[in-house]
Amino acid sequence: MKQWKAVDGPEKEVFFPQEYKPGIQSQLDFTCMNSRMITINHDKFEHMLYHFVLPYSNWETGSICYPESFEALSEGLQKSLWELG
């Protein structure tokens, strides 16, 4: 049975471990929040969310932005790094 499993048995799941090291990597993304139907004084609030995370510590922050643009990316990154210290 061991030999059959090793040679002809079911395939093993392919797994790529993700190893995060401190101070090496950050991740950022924009998320469109319009489908959430958020309202302010019964008016639809259309906006995007800029999300920044450090994967090793899972420290994260976010800010509201309107268009997904280089300016929004630059401002979001600056705010995130300022908050991070």
Tens digit of pLDDT for each residue in 26-73? 999 999 988 888 889 998 988 999 999 999 999 999 999 988 899 999
Question: Which whole number is the average pLDDT over 5-27?
Answer: 83
For residue 62, what are the contacts with CB-CB under 8 A and spacing of at least 6?
Answer: 49, 50, 51, 52
Give the pLDDT band (50/70/90) at residue 76.
Answer: very high
Residue 44: φ, ψ to 5°: -60, 130
d(CA 16, CA 4): 26
Residue 50 has a pLDDT of 94
Contact 60, 53 (CB under 8 A): yes
| Per-domain residue ranges of the chain | 24-84
Would the pTM count as exceeding 0.75? no
The pair of three-digit structure tokens given for residue 9, joined into one six-digit string: 């048995």
Given a cut of 80, is residue 7 above it in pLDDT? Answer: no
Contact 83, 60 (CB under 8 A): no
